Amino acid sequence: DVKVTQSSRYLVKRTGEKVFLECVQDMDHENMFWYRQDPGLGLRLIYFSYDVKMKEKGDIPEGYSVSREKKERFSLILESASTNQTSMYLCASRIFSGNHNEQFFGPGTRLTVL
Amino acid sequence: AQKVTQAQTEISVVEKEDVTLDCVYETRDTTYYLFWYKQPPSGELVFLIRRNSFDEQNEISGRYSWNFQKSTSSFNFTITASQVVDSAVYFCALSEANTGGFKTIFGAGTRLFVKA
């Protein structure tokens, strides 16, 4: 089974702090994704990476950056956390092979910025 | 532009009732993929089904069934004889082949409550 893990389930930070959210997958998937989930808005794509050291902006990249130095690990960085970044953050990975392009998700990190 | 609409925000049913979750999508691409995911209270989204645009066959998996109709741009999900364990948020999603499938658009989700 694919396993996607995220470093924290719950995180509380203060405005202006630098925040790192870590995601690790164990299935050698090329593609990895970061989403945020907010009530009534579903999941929105922040950044994705189609391979090591490659990254692309998603729909809402402002205020975020990412790092992918190793295939299994994809980090989301909030350079200076703000209260409007309080949200649930979900990491996902995927192997893209023909039609097999469903994503596998981690348990999520609920971040609160005070 | 791609868009996914799940008009039902919350649905509440009593155990053993059948329930249908609606999903309407918009896309200009001729090749696309549709998905349903389940998010139980634990928070982790679980993949349920993928359908590509060339395959309009309906699918049944145990108590779950999916009705894909390109004519109405809908991909509805029915749970037969619902159970308390079906209580979750369900997301419908769409990804277009012309984005390499990298940009998946999710609906807002439908929260299903199944009461014993």
Per-residue model confidence as pLDDT tens digits over A13-70: 999 999 999 999 998 898 999 999 998 889 999 999 988 989 999 999 999 999 999 9
How far, in Å, CA of B9 to CA of A50, rounded? 33
Amino acid at B10: E
| CA-wise closest residue to B47 among A101, A85, A32, A110 | A101
For tokens 């299994």, the residue is A72
Q: Which two tokens stand for residue B13?
A: 């049913």
Q: Which of B10, B45, B52 to mutate to test the interface with A (most CBs of A within 10 A)?
A: B45
**B22 burial level (CB within 10 Å; 0-12, 13-18, 19+):** middle
Shortest CA distance from B104: residue in chain A? A45
CA distance A106 to chain B (A): 6
Task: Inspect the interface and report whether the beta carbons of A107 and B43 lie closer than 8 Å.
Answer: yes
- At residue B102, the pLDDT reads 78
Cα-Cα-Cα-Cα dihedral of B97, B100, B101, B104, to 10°?
-110
pLDDT of residue A35: 97
**Inter-chain residue contact B107 with A105, CB threshold 8 Å:** no
pLDDT at B74: 97
Q: Do B108 and A90 touch (CB under 8 A)?
A: no
Residue of A nearest to B99 (CA): A58
Contact A56 B35 (CB under 8 A): no
Nearest 5°: the CA angle B99, A89, A74 is 65
pLDDT at B100: 74
Q: Among partner residues B9, B101, B107, which is closest to A101 by beta-carbon distance? A: B101
Tally Cβ neighbours within 10 Å of residue B16. Answer: 11
- How would you write chain B as a 3-class SS string? CCEEECCCCEEEEECCCCEEECCEEECCCCCEEEEEEEECCCCCCEEEEEEECCCCCCEEECCEEEEEEHHHCEEEEEECCCCHHHCEEEEEEEEEHHHCCCCEEECCCEEEEEEC
- Tell me, what's the pLDDT at A1? 67
- Nearest by CB to A40, from B35, B100, B108: name it: B108
Q: Which of A44, A96, A105 sits opposite B45 (nearest CB)?
A: A105
CA A101 to chain centre: 18
Confidence of residue A97 (pLDDT cuts 50, 70, 90): low
C-alpha–C-alpha distance, residues B99 and B28, integer Å: 12
Q: What is the pLDDT of residue A2?
A: 64
The beta-carbon neighbor of B43 closest among A42, A58, A108 is A108
pLDDT at A98: 61
Give residue A80's pLDDT band: very low, low, confident or very high (50, 70, 90): very high
Tens digit of pLDDT at every position of chain B (116 positions): 789 999 999 999 999 999 999 999 999 999 899 999 999 988 899 999 999 898 888 888 999 999 999 999 999 999 999 999 999 999 999 988 887 777 889 999 999 999 99
Residues A112 and B37: their CA atoms lie apart, in Å, by: 25
A100: pLDDT strictly greater than 70 = no
